[in-house]
Amino acid sequence: MNSSNKHTIKRRSFLKKSILSGGGLILGFNFYNCEADVEIAKKAIPSLEIPEKWNELNAFLKIGNNGVVTIMSPNPEIGQNIKTSMPMIVAEELEVDWKNVLVEQASLNTDWYKRQVAGGSQSIRQGWESLRKVGATAKQMLVQTAANRWSLSLNECKAQNGIVSNIMNEETLTYAELAEEASKLEAPKEVKLKDPADFKIIGQAKKNVDIEPLLSGKPLFGIDTKKEGMVYAVISRPPGFGMKLSSLDDSEAKKVNGVIDIFKFEDSQSDLRGIMNEKVAVIANSTWSAMKARKALKLSWVKSDAVENTSDHDAGLNKLLQERQKEPRRNDGDIDKAFAEADIVLEKIYEAPFLPHNCLEPMNFYADITGDKAEVLGPVQTPQWARIRLAKLLDRPETDITVGMTRMGGGFGRRLFGDFVIEAAQLSQKVNKPVQLIFSREDDMVSGTYRPASKYRIKAGVKNGEVTAYHLTEACVNGNMYDNITNFFPAGAIPNMRIDTNSLESNISTGAWRAPYTNFLAFAEQSFFDELAKEMGKDEIDLRLELFEKAKSNADAGYEYDPEKSIAVTKLALEKAKWGKARAGISQGFCMYYSHNTHVAEIADVAIEDGQAVVKKITCAIHCGIVVNPLGAINQVEGGIIDGIGHAMYGDLSFEDGKPSANNFHQYRLIRMGEQPEIEVHFVPSKEDPTGLGEPSLPPAGGAIANAIFKATGKRLYKQPFVKEDALLG
Amino acid sequence: MATYNIKVNGKMHKVEADADTPILWVLRDHLNLVGTKYGCGIAQCGACTIHVNGDAARSCSIPISSIAEKEITTIEGLSDIVRHPIQDAWREHDVPQCGYCQAGQMMSASSLIKQHPNPTDDQIDTAMRGNICRCATYKRIKSAIKTATK
């Protein structure tokens, strides 16, 4: 939090400039974004006037002399709705009417804000306490100012709806009247936070703060950036992994109207996407000219390294599935002894392909690296990472570099990698002009950081009707599951448990994809438990409930999930889905999964219609602590479920000679309108601090539908995408 | 390069462009109307949907040379006061997540309800299948279309 004079002065002059200069990059951005924001506020408060004077209480908020409050949203917005929900948390503790709040997107500022990252479903969970303190601190400064004027103690004053009242009499002072004086106070070291029972904004349905500019098509996204003197760039990258440029003929391309420059350049930082490549940049005065000239380039590419095939990955992963690590990731008890003594042993293998992220807004970024300027602006989930890389590229201190954030047309993990930020900066530096770099859809799908292909071998042993052994072996391209996943279910519930993970090294760039690892592991594990229950002659729900009870009685076993919450979401889902009360033609499948600190149970209703298995409904029960904004939260959960179904059913990318099998949506199937089921979302009521929400509803979807499809068709699914496994799903 | 006079959102614009320039890029780069989005460039995702003479069309695949006298409407021109019934319904349902596809979704939906004032589920699915929402807000999109036609 900022309370020092130095920052205050810097910040004030910053704001002043931002009003005055429309042209500068970051300042211009804030100003322009502000215009859109003001428009929103005007809808909400028709009488809203932009204050003549803002008083800044800390880095997160300023109060106008007319009572309008601006709250900064510190983190990148990728569609997870934190631009609405993070400021709601500040506003709650500040005690202002949400109708009087304007929200502004912050730029990267590591002095003022912590963890400006969109990833891991952690923005709300990790920001919760500090955002509350930000609001509470400012409130206390306002109340203190009133108390000073009335010569009262803090306890004798009360703040509500932007007004401080003297509880001894009827006197009141508005925040607008207090803000200037309050802004000069030292920030209190300790503040009292509200009792969640008194929340008035948190827990209420609040609309997306960007709804008006989204409805009217106002510029909000990185790709919408337009700046004085800006040129457009596209880049030809190798068409496959393990390939390099062998010749370039740009004679035809140079004839295209609007072309400014065509040149070769290299990755400056070889570890960016795990590959070092020579690329060809086309700079032009419009996007179309750049794209058209790029098509007119005559390029040939040759092998420079291994060019890989999906069949090679398959063989490599199959081999790794049978290998044990010297040091397993988890090793409870003695699985070998338990398997030797088991009455039943079940072993199954589950397989998943690579997946591209396919953010609908393709990768793009704006960079102005001219003269003394080092300014970049655009959609990136990790602005700080980008700045560290830029500092290295430009050999300048990070403090020289400005990173602005725009709303993002999706992230899904692709924008955790700022390769495009570095490319944009390289190009701007080379042509000495501000550059807007844009990936075509083909560039975006072919130059990915894909969800790696992976396989799981799961083996369980049963003795006297109890699951006594569990062995999970992961084989995955370029790396293995995060450490905390080894502490997920069924850890603690089965006495002998081992996890081995083996990585198949590849030159294909891979990375996090919404709910990394668990996006597929949940299906594998949870359909395995259904199959295991059947082998044991047990009800699949009873088996899980018994295992949760075992984990409860084994609290020291080293696991991360909460068995009580697992039971709570399971029971709520069963009740809401009317589990076991069969309706004609409907088969139900269950899946419960914990990830990103959140417990989720989903039940799929599947019917056979015209010879096809159709997912009719998903009933979801979720425990994510306090729900900050139910309107946004339900949207996240529904979207995660449909995304989970879509990718389990259709998501597929393979490689041949290093080249991806799809480069645009005519070759890559995403779930579309009409393929989504009915969805019901039920939150377990809670007063606990909020946990993740952007990802956790996705992993269980694949497992729930696979288990329901088995009930409907008698066929077990082991391989994604399901659509390739069964004509019934085609 | 040639000079074209095109009518966008009721206003005439003079544009210097190559004949093959897609309307999408004319709107975005020449006219600064960036509400119409680029998603795939091959009419497979619907992010660039506009109205041509009132009907939904994919602007990424329409060259400027084929527009002639036809009237173009973009999201910016759907309603001067952002109160088209589709926009009202989108607002009511708080449809967007990332929001990138939503201009295209609203342009397709507004064309649909003009043709079918009371669309069936099948008509909605058919009309909207060309518009990908990567965040998968399909449920709210469908609810909003129904609200708009109540």
- Of the partner residues B34, B125, B133, the one whose CB lies closest to the CB of residue A219: B34
| B9 half-sphere exposure, CB direction, 13 A CA radius | 15
* A644: closest chain B residue by CA: B136
Residue A728 has pLDDT above 80, yes or no: no
- Scan residues 218-257 of A and list those with Cβ closer than 8 Å to B: 218-221, 223-224, 226, 232, 257
**Res. A24 pLDDT band, cuts 50 70 90:** very low
* A81: closest chain B residue by CA: B97
pLDDT in tens, A621-649: 999 999 999 999 999 999 999 999 999 99
| Full 3-state SS string of chain B | CEEEEEEECCEEEEEEECCCCEHHHHHHHHCCCCCCCCCCCCCCCCCCEEEECCEEEEHHHCEHHHCCCCEEECHHHCCCCCCCHHHHHHHHHCCCCCCCCHHHHHHHHHHHHHHCCCCCHHHHHHHHCCCCCCCCCHHHHHHHHHHHCC
Residue A46 has pLDDT above 70, yes or no: no
Residue A419 has pLDDT above 50, yes or no: yes
The answer to whether B106 faces chain A, any CB pair under 8 Å, is yes
**Res. A271 pLDDT band, cuts 50 70 90:** low
| pLDDT at A59 (0 to 100) | 87
Window from A62-71, A633-642, A706-715, B92-101 with minimum mean pLDDT: A62-71
> CB distance A223–B38 less than 8 Å?
yes
Residues 6+ apart with CB under 8 A from A370: A428, A432, A433, A434
- Of the partner residues B98, B106, B141, the one whose CB lies closest to the CB of residue A78: B98
Class of domain B2-77: alpha beta
Kindly report the CA angle at A449 between A650 and A363, in degrees rounded to 5?
A: 95
Residue A28 has pLDDT above 70, yes or no: no
Residues 6+ apart with CB under 8 A from A126: A114, A115
The answer to whether B134 faces chain A, any CB pair under 8 Å, is yes
Evaluate whether the domain defined by A224-305+363-438 bears CATH number 3.40.50.1220. Answer: no
The CATH 3.30.365.10 portion of chain A extends over 5-216, 224-305+363-438, 323-354+450-729
Using a CB-CB distance cutoff of 8 angstroms, which residues of chain B are in contact with residue A669? none
The answer to whether B99 faces chain A, any CB pair under 8 Å, is yes
> CB distance B139–A679 less than 8 Å?
yes
**Res. A53 pLDDT band, cuts 50 70 90:** confident
Using a CB-CB distance cutoff of 8 angstroms, which residues of chain A are in contact with residue B42? 441, 664-666
- Whole-number Å distance between alpha carbons of A422 and B41: 25
* A231: closest chain B residue by CA: B29
**Res. A111 pLDDT band, cuts 50 70 90:** confident
Q: What ranges do the domains of chain B cover?
A: 2-77, 85-148
pLDDT in tens, B132-143: 999 999 999 999
| pLDDT at A6 (0 to 100) | 31
- Whole-number Å distance between alpha carbons of A108 and A73: 11
- Of the partner residues A216, A639, A643, the one whose CB lies closest to the CB of residue B82: A216
Residue A18 has pLDDT above 70, yes or no: no
Percent residues over pLDDT 70 in chain A: 92
CATH (one of 3.30.365.10, 1.20.1080.10, 1.10.10.10, 3.40.50.200) for A323-354+450-729: 3.30.365.10
**Res. A267 pLDDT band, cuts 50 70 90:** confident
The residue ranking higher by pLDDT, A285 or A31, is A285
| pLDDT at A12 (0 to 100) | 33
Beta carbon pairs, A and B, within 8 Å: 185
**For strand A466-477 and strand A454-463, is the pairing parallel, antiparallel, or unpaired?**
antiparallel
CATH topology of domain B85-148: DNA polymerase; domain 1 (1.10.150)
- Whole-number Å distance between alpha carbons of A680 and A603: 10
Tokens 């990472």 sit at which residue? A385
pLDDT in tens, B50-63: 999 999 999 999 99
CB A235 within 8 A of CB A444: no
**For strand A375-378 and strand A231-236, is the pairing parallel, antiparallel, or unpaired?**
unpaired
In terms of Cβ atoms closer than 10 Å to its own Cβ (0-12, 13-18, 19+), residue B108 is buried
**Res. A19 pLDDT band, cuts 50 70 90:** very low
Q: What is the SS3 assignment for A288?
A: helix
- The distance of A682 to chain B (nearest Cα, Å) reads 16
Find the mean pLDDT for residues A126-147: 95
Interface test with B, best of A78, A210, A215 (most B CBs within 10 A): A215
* Residue A653, phi-psi category: left (phi > 0), alpha (psi -120 to 50), beta (remainder): beta
> CB distance A673–B131 less than 8 Å?
yes
> CB distance A360–B131 less than 8 Å?
no
Using a CB-CB distance cutoff of 8 angstroms, which residues of chain B are in contact with residue A440? 41
E strand or H helix that includes residue A613? strand A612-623
- Whole-number Å distance between alpha carbons of A304 and A328: 35
Determine the distance from the C-alpha atom of residue A156 to the mean position of all C-alpha atoms in its chain, rounded to a whole number. 44
Find the mean pLDDT for residues A696-718: 97
pLDDT in tens, A530-546: 999 999 999 999 999 99
Complex ipTM tops 0.90: yes
- Select from A621, A624, A615 the least CA-distant residue to A575: A621
**Res. A11 pLDDT band, cuts 50 70 90:** very low
pLDDT in tens, A372-399: 999 999 999 999 999 999 999 999 999 9
Residue A427 has pLDDT above 90, yes or no: yes
- Select from A654, A645, A650 the least CA-distant residue to A317: A654
Strand partners, A302: A244
CATH (one of 3.80.10.10, 3.40.630.40, 3.30.365.10, 3.40.50.360) for A5-216: 3.30.365.10
**Res. A726 pLDDT band, cuts 50 70 90:** confident
Mean pLDDT of the residues in chain A: 91
| pLDDT at A687 (0 to 100) | 95
- Select from A239, A291, A240, A447 the least CA-distant residue to B41: A291
- AA letter at B23: I
